[in-house]
Amino acid sequence: MPAIDRSGTFTLGNRTVTRLGYGAMQLAGRGVFGPPKDRHAAIAVLREAVERGVNHIDTSDFYGPHITNQLIREALHPYPDELVIVTKVGARRGDDGSWIPASSRKELTQAVHDNLRNLRLDVLEVVNFRSMLDIHGPAEGSIEAPLTALADLQRQGRVRHIGLSNVTAAQIVEGRRICEIVCVQNHYNLAHRVDDALIDDLARDGIAYVPFFPLGGFTPLQSLALSDVAQRLGATPMQVALAWLLGRAPNILLIPGTSSVAHLRENLAAAKLDLLEDEIMALNGIAARAASA
């Protein structure tokens, strides 16, 4: 059995995907802006991921911008039937690499068409609306107008399924009144667990939860408890952090990103780890210590 198969599966829209996927953000240049240092290495990572059983790739046309989608197309098109590519809209990049909200009907329509063109697809399987009411985290406010625009694109056949990113529980309730929501993508990991209750609520409704920054983002998770468990298991701390997430809830889909084939293989091997109850308890304490600090 390939290592990735041990992660299990979950439904994303009307497709079944392995719970351990791949996030393409780090394939762009520094700050997710501009081209990668080594285009051939980026292509190799994407092909290795699919060869090892990854069938859920997360991307966006504002990564680069356009870079990661163009790399995915070059590496993988024509796409395997089982591959699900999930993208995001709701932002654009300034000439200086800044992140700028882009949620008007015109901007969202352009973004969907940019993703279609750069990925060379006729329809986008899943499009996440990324709320930019606050760049750094979820902020309350209505998302009715942009989500209605996306739902119209769905009815036109450009988008098959819709998800939400960087949103609050209230916004998810509002979104579900407008269209079916198949996934929620928010910041969540061992040390950042604001969405604990939300994850359980979504699990009961069969909605996927996709944590971004599952390994802490550009500053990796660091904890003595995490290192101790990793040493005991003969694994890396990042493998343990991913294994904990897989065990946290059945609806969690992981998309750890990397620009290295070796690191990709390491991430996928996390599916083979089995955490004992005392190890899980030790890891659960990391969030409380992070909050008190």
Sheet of strand 124-130, all strands in order from the earlier edge strand to the far edge: 22-23, 56-58, 84-89, 124-130, 159-165, 181-185, 208-209
| Surface-to-core class of residue 30, CB atoms within 10 Å of its CB (0-12 exposed, 13-18 middle, 19+ buried) | exposed
Q: Which of 22, 63, 188, 209 is catalytic?
A: 63
> In degrees, to the nearest 5, what angle opens at C-alpha 184 toward C-alphas 183 and 187?
145
Spell out a b/e string for 4-28, using b for 16 or more CB atoms within 10 Å of the CB, else e.
bebbebbebbebebbbbbbbbbbbb
The helix/strand/coil state of 162 is: strand
Active site (annotated) includes residue 209 = no
User: How far out from the chain centre does Cα 228 lie?
Assistant: 27
| Surface-to-core class of residue 168, CB atoms within 10 Å of its CB (0-12 exposed, 13-18 middle, 19+ buried) | buried
* Residue recorded with tokens 């996030």: 23
User: How far out from the chain centre does Cα 163 lie?
Assistant: 11
User: How far out from the chain centre does Cα 255 lie?
Assistant: 5
Catalytic residues: 63
